[in-house]
Amino acid sequence: MGQKVAIVGSGIVGASIAYELSKISDLTVTVFDRLPAPVEADLSVCPTSTGAALGVLMGAISKKEKGHGLQMRLTSLEAYETLIPELEILTGSVIPFNRQGILMLEFEEDLTRWQRLVEIRRSQGLTLEIWERDRLSANFPHLRLDGVKAAIYSPCDRQVNPVVLTHALIKAAQQNGVTFRFDTAVTGAIDHELHTPQGKFATDWIVISAALGSTPLTTAMNQPVEIRPVLGQAMHLRLDKPLHTLQPVITGNDVHLVPLGGGDYWVGATVEFEENAVTLQPDRAQWNAVMNQAIAFCPSLADAKPIRSWYGLRPRPQGRPAPIVELLPGYDQVLLATGHYRNGVLLAPATAKMVRDTIVEAGSGSC
């Protein structure tokens, strides 16, 4: 007999889980979200971390050399190569997906760690390159290299539009039979039963993928998982023409320049803790520092036309690494898939596979 799965949250992680589970014929999947509609773009205040994200997929260029966190990154990177075209065929969507890699400007003289990482990535079947200043200036003459010692180029890494991708995941999941209940907040759960203002919903599995909303829900279930907000600001800029024919994501000192096509770019993002994040008040000084850094290595941005600025909150687990993908303590069929902090888009496919595997293995063990 089939099982019912309830997913709480329909951001990039929840939507990825819904689509992954929709491929299992004997599961009935329902997604609940407190918002009235799927994640939106073009907002100045993003109610979800997905809507605020830049979609930079830093896998091979991550400094992690081994471990579960790195494996999740690489699993997701590999998954995206087939997932994006699969979703485009299923939904008829065009999902902006930049395959030109990531170029990271390096300001430190000592490249020993990067040299070691190049060899490690080669053993893992991935390419990572160290570019000296001469090669960097020849390939990217629009960059100002004051203080730049070298650059790390990762052709294997990617960037994707998070909102367009999430909409495609939702549409594909719906085509496969998943029900989405928007404007339906989940206030608690007892004995395989979700509680909402609209009534109770019986289910076998509960997957909590509600980002910051995971804390009040788990608190109501007497197993609080503390996830705190970290605010991030970003901006959409437009130039008269592209900076260059080569269009990788360029990053330096944790500032990202994300090409969108033509002369359009995203720039971001700040990392703002504590009172500013809690009160939803972005710090103008922190944004100015990000923009000044972007202009410092790409002077043309000083003449760019601002199209939109926005900010949103990232869900950061308190006192433990991100993300949290595990059973909720005290519950054998409540899964946490939350607290992805700055890597929700990157880790969504790997998270979805982990959730799927847990549910499938539990079902196999009960037969």
Spatial contact of 236 and 264, defined as CB atoms under 8 Å apart: yes
C-alpha 47/C-alpha 60 separation (Å) is 30
C-alpha 48/C-alpha 314 separation (Å) is 8
Tokens of 100: 């030109």
C-alpha 80/C-alpha 77 separation (Å) is 5
Residue 34 has pLDDT above 70, yes or no: yes
C-alpha 210/C-alpha 31 separation (Å) is 11
C-alpha 283/C-alpha 214 separation (Å) is 26
Q: Strand, coil or helix: what is 232?
A: strand
C-alpha 74/C-alpha 206 separation (Å) is 27
Q: What average pLDDT does the segment 33-49 reach? A: 90
Measuring CA to CA, which residue among 11, 143, 121, 119 is closest to residue 60? Answer: 121
* DSSP per residue, 145-212: -TT--EEEEETT-EEE-HHHHHHHHHHHHHHTT-EEE-S----EE-SSEEEETTEEEE-SEEEE--GG
C-alpha 319/C-alpha 337 separation (Å) is 17
Residue 209 has pLDDT above 80, yes or no: yes
Percentage of residues in the chain having pLDDT higher than 90: 92
311, amino acid identity: Y
Tokens of 255: 């500032």
pLDDT given at position 367? 40
pLDDT one-digit tens code per residue, 55-85: 999 999 999 999 999 999 999 999 999 999 9
Q: What average pLDDT does the segment 35-54 reach? A: 90
What backbone phi and psi angles, to 5 degrees, belong to 314? -95, 145
Show Cβ contacts of residue 185 under 8 Å, excluding neighbours closer than 6 positions. Answer: 32, 34, 196, 197
Residue with tokens 């020993």: 112
Residue with tokens 């609940």: 32
Residue 43 has pLDDT above 90, yes or no: no
pLDDT one-digit tens code per residue, 139-173: 999 999 999 999 999 999 999 999 999 999 999 99
C-alpha 308/C-alpha 54 separation (Å) is 13
pLDDT given at position 39? 93
pLDDT one-digit tens code per residue, 79-119: 999 999 999 999 999 999 999 999 999 999 999 999 999 99
C-alpha 29/C-alpha 203 separation (Å) is 9
What backbone phi and psi angles, to 5 degrees, belong to 342? -95, 10
What pTM value is reported for the model?
A: 0.97
Beta strands 27-32; 3-8: pairing state = parallel
CATH fold of 1-97+159-226+318-367, please?
FAD/NAD(P)-binding domain (3.50.50)
Residue 129 has pLDDT above 60, yes or no: yes
237, amino acid identity: L
